[in-house]
Amino acid sequence: MQGMAARSHQMGFVCGVGDRACGVDPRLLVLSRLSQALWVFDVDNGRIHWANDTALGLWHAPTLDALRARDMQSDMSPAVAARLRQYQQDIIDHDVSFSEVWTIYPLGVPHTLRLVFSGFPLADGRMALLCEVLGEHRIDPENLRSADALIHTPVMITLYNQHARGLYRNPAARESCFDLLERGVRRFVDPLDARSLFQQLKQRGRARLVSRVRTAQGERWHDISAQQCLDPASGQVACLVSEVDISDLKRAEARAQYLAHHDPLTALPNRQFVLHRYQERLDAIRDQGSAAALIFIDLDRFKNINDSLGHAAGDQLLVLMAERLRAELRDRDLVARLGGDEFLVLIESPDIREHVAHLAQRLLRVLGRSVEIADTDVQVTASLGICVFPDNGHDIHTLMRHADLAMYRAKDGGRDRMAWFDQDMTRIANTRLALENELRHALHRGQFELHYQPVVDIRSNEVVGAEALLRWNRPGHDQVPPTVFIPICEECGLMDAIGDWVLLEAARQQVRWAELGCNLRVAVNLSVMQFNSPVLLETCRQVLEETGCEPGKLELEVTESMLLGNDERTLATLDGLRALGFRLAIDDFGTGYSNLAYLQRYPFSSLKIDRSFIAALDSGTPIAELVISLCHLLGMDIVAEGVESQHQLEWLHQRNCHTYQGFLYSPALPAEQFLQQICRR
28-44 tens-digit pLDDT: 776 776 778 899 999 89
Which pLDDT band holds residue 310 (cuts at 50, 70, 90)? confident
Rounded-to-integer distance, Cα 263 and Cα 329, Å = 18
pLDDT, mean of residues 371-376: 83
Side chain identity at residue 333, one-letter code: D
> Do residues 137 and 49 share a domain?
yes
pLDDT, mean of residues 151-172: 84
Which pLDDT band holds residue 515 (cuts at 50, 70, 90)? very high
- Identify the pLDDT of residue 488: 86
Rounded-to-integer distance, Cα 493 and Cα 488, Å = 9
> Do residues 207 and 308 share a domain?
no
Which pLDDT band holds residue 1 (cuts at 50, 70, 90)? very low
> Do residues 446 and 566 share a domain?
yes
Which pLDDT band holds residue 137 (cuts at 50, 70, 90)? low
Work out whether strand 342-348 and strand 334-339 pair parallel, antiparallel, or are unpaired.
Answer: antiparallel
pLDDT higher than threshold 80 for residue 152: no
β-sheet bridge partners, residue 480: 472
Residue that terminates a domain, selected from 141, 168, 203: 141
- Identify the pLDDT of residue 345: 96
Q: Indicate whether 6 belongs to any domain.
A: no
Render 280-292 in DSSP notation, one character per residue: HHHHHHHHTT--E
Contact 346, 387 (CB under 8 A): no
Closest CA to 533 of 493, 561, 502, 485: 493
Rounded-to-integer distance, Cα 214 and Cα 193, Å = 13
Least confident of 5-14, 28-37, 388-397, 534-543: 5-14
- Identify the pLDDT of residue 621: 60
Reported pTM: 0.44
> Do residues 523 and 581 share a domain?
yes
- Identify the pLDDT of residue 139: 66
> Do residues 477 and 607 share a domain?
yes
Cβ atoms within 10 Å of 528's Cβ, excluding its own: 15
The rounded mean pLDDT for the chain is 85
> Do residues 231 and 260 share a domain?
no
Q: Indicate whether 530 belongs to any domain.
A: yes
Helix or strand or coil: residue 291? coil
> Do residues 320 and 463 share a domain?
no
Residue that terminates a domain, selected from 227, 245, 263: 245
545-562 tens-digit pLDDT: 999 999 999 999 998 777
- Identify the pLDDT of residue 564: 62
Least confident of 127-141, 234-248, 261-275, 660-674: 127-141
Q: Indicate whether 435 belongs to any domain.
A: no
pLDDT higher than threshold 70 for residue 597: no
Domain span at 513 = 440-679
Tell me which of 499 and 102 has the higher pLDDT: 499
- Identify the pLDDT of residue 570: 85
pLDDT higher than threshold 90 for residue 385: yes
β-sheet bridge partners, residue 175: none
pLDDT higher than threshold 80 for residue 436: yes
Q: Which residues contact 434 (CB under 8 A, 6 or more apart)?
A: none
CATH number at residue 34: 3.30.450.20
Q: Indicate whether 146 belongs to any domain.
A: no
- Identify the pLDDT of residue 409: 87
> Do residues 265 and 397 share a domain?
yes
> Do residues 135 and 171 share a domain?
no
Q: Indicate whether 148 belongs to any domain.
A: no
CATH number at residue 641: 3.20.20.450
- Identify the pLDDT of residue 8: 29
Residues 631-640 as b/e (b if ≥16 CB within 10 A, e otherwise) read beeeebbbbb
pLDDT, mean of residues 470-488: 86
609-665 tens-digit pLDDT: 888 888 777 665 667 787 888 888 888 899 999 999 998 999 999 889 999 999 999
Rounded-to-integer distance, Cα 265 and Cα 254, Å = 18
- Identify the pLDDT of residue 9: 28
Q: Indicate whether 463 belongs to any domain.
A: yes
pLDDT higher than threshold 80 for residue 588: no
Render 599-639 in DSSP notation, one character per residue: HHHS--SEEEE-HHHHHTGGGT-SHHHHHHHHHHHHT-EEE
Q: Indicate whether 432 belongs to any domain.
A: no
276-285 tens-digit pLDDT: 889 999 999 9
Tell me which of 26 and 284 has the higher pLDDT: 284
> Do residues 495 and 637 share a domain?
yes
CA dihedral 165, 171, 172, 177 (to 10 degrees): 40
> Do residues 129 and 158 share a domain?
no
Residue that terminates a domain, selected from 141, 165, 183: 141
> Do residues 513 and 617 share a domain?
yes
Which pLDDT band holds residue 591 (cuts at 50, 70, 90)? low
pLDDT higher than threshold 60 for residue 223: yes
Closest CA to 343 of 413, 278, 257: 278
Q: Indicate whether 429 belongs to any domain.
A: no
pLDDT higher than threshold 80 for residue 273: yes
pLDDT higher than threshold 50 for residue 78: yes
Rounded-to-integer distance, Cα 345 and Cα 337, Å = 9
- Identify the pLDDT of residue 22: 41
| The most confident of 478-482, 539-543, 632-636, by mean pLDDT | 539-543
Tell me which of 512 and 480 has the higher pLDDT: 512
β-sheet bridge partners, residue 206: 227
Tell me which of 29 and 62 has the higher pLDDT: 62
Work out whether strand 382-389 and strand 606-609 pair parallel, antiparallel, or are unpaired.
Answer: unpaired
Tell me which of 521 and 148 has the higher pLDDT: 521
pLDDT higher than threshold 60 for residue 595: no
pLDDT, mean of residues 370-390: 89
- Identify the pLDDT of residue 427: 67
Q: What percent of the chain has pLDDT over 70?
A: 90
- Identify the pLDDT of residue 143: 64
Rounded-to-integer distance, Cα 568 and Cα 665, Å = 40
Number of domains in the chain: 4
Contact 591, 577 (CB under 8 A): no
Which pLDDT band holds residue 681 (cuts at 50, 70, 90)? low
Size of the chain, expressed as the number of residues it contains: 681
Which pLDDT band holds residue 598 (cuts at 50, 70, 90)? low
CATH number at residue 392: 3.30.70.270
